[in-house]
Amino acid sequence: MQYRKFGKLDWQVSALGFGCMRLPVIDGKMGQIDQAKTSEMIHKAIEAGVNYFDTAYVYHEQKSETALGEALKGGYREKVRIATKSPIWLIKQSDDFSRLLDEQLERLQTEAIDFYLLHALERGSWDKILQLNLLEQAEKALADGRIKHLGFSFHDNLDVFKNIVDGYDGWTFCQIQYNYMDTHFQAGTEGLRYAAAKGLAVVIMESLRGGKLAVDLPAARPVWETASCKRTPADWALQWLWNQPEVSVALSGMGTLQQVEQNIASANVSGVGSLSTSDLAMIDKVRDVLNARSPIPCTSCEYCMPCPNGVNIPLNFQNYNNAAMYDDLADSRFYYNNFISPAERAANYIQCEECLSKCPQHISISTWMPVVEEVMGLKRPFVQSV
């Protein structure tokens, strides 16, 4: 296993981190984790040198932390660091922070959480944290030893990310969505480098974009075949991350023992600067090929924002484009109906057309938005053009 710097800490993290959001389940039910398979996978990872395990209060219908705690019994806990997350949206008053933390400690069967994150921060939740003085609550938990290091995971734009990084001096680390397709999405490459320059360790989530970058997509296959070194799409995606010195650890949500073994093999040959110029150019070309499959030429510049009715126009377009890019309409529909808030969905676009003159790509937003709602709302088949 290769190891990397973790911010300013005198400790090295395994290049591969184990994400506990996609554990094996029984009968397809997310709340029924197959503990035997999970423990086997986790033990295999630890024996191979993985020392960073990431979970959260809400993963697997609130069963992931318990499953991880069970798997780490018998001496395994002492070999690893645990990261889990405070569900900010469930906190109604400041005392809830400590109550939820104590519940997590019990689930994980541990006296202290090594790396504790404020979960899924964006502009609104950051404001809530400040209003409820939750940083003060976190500092109390740091002082009494229930948590050892504080960080945050993030889902908003670059300006908000920088504001949060600069808004508190006690961060040890942050966690961002990042992969070769998301270089300008949310924090992106600029955010990665910004946080690292501030001394924060940067943990990468969605390294394979929920598995999409692990698929042998027909559109990308001819490009991958030009490589002199043959790798799987998943291996290329992970190596692209590990090639960058600012990346501390790349998480992978593994659901089978085979995935654990494959990712360990990738991590074992990883390293900063290990990819050649031609390798990087090839990955850039794959990105271009996939982006070219997008029906809507949106660049997420956000010139159309804010929408007077609160619709997140770029997010709706990106989700629609993902269906075409990755041949996965079902996943885009699931995301639309479960992770885009009702207020931000295309269904609330009111045809005021204020956004049309602001779009530098001259997208017919007023024509596309009803299509996005009808397709993602299961009312019509997917269409590539309007």
Least Cα distance to 192 among 123, 245, 236, 237 occurs for 245
The DSSP call for residue 358 is G
Per residue in 215-266, pLDDT (tens digit) is 999 999 999 999 989 999 999 999 999 999 999 999 999 999 999 999 999 9
Least Cα distance to 281 among 246, 231, 325, 240 occurs for 240
Per residue in 60-72, pLDDT (tens digit) is 999 999 999 999 9
Per residue in 281-313, pLDDT (tens digit) is 999 999 999 999 989 988 788 889 999 999 999
At residue 228, the pLDDT reads 87
At residue 385, the pLDDT reads 77
Q: How many CA atoms lie less than 13 Å away from 327 in the CB half-sphere?
A: 8
At residue 175, the pLDDT reads 98
- Whole-number Å distance between alpha carbons of 60 and 21: 6
Q: Please, what is the average pLDDT of the chain?
A: 95
The DSSP call for residue 357 is G
At residue 78, the pLDDT reads 97
Question: In the chain, where does the domain assigned CATH 3.20.20.100 lie?
Answer: 3-283
Burial (CB count within 10 angstroms: exposed 0-12, middle 13-18, buried 19+), residue 168: middle
Cβ neighbour number for residue 290 with a 10 Å cutoff = 22
Contact criterion met (CB below 8 Å) for 287 and 180: yes
Per residue in 364-382, pLDDT (tens digit) is 999 999 999 999 988 777 8
Per residue in 70-105, pLDDT (tens digit) is 999 999 999 999 999 999 999 999 999 999 999 999
- Whole-number Å distance between alpha carbons of 45 and 53: 10
**What architecture does CATH give domain 3-283?**
Alpha-Beta Barrel (3.20)
Query: Global pTM?
Result: 0.88
- Whole-number Å distance between alpha carbons of 56 and 24: 16
At residue 382, the pLDDT reads 80
Percent with pLDDT over 70 in the chain: 100
Torsion angle in degrees (nearest 10) through CA of 18, 250, 14, 71: -10
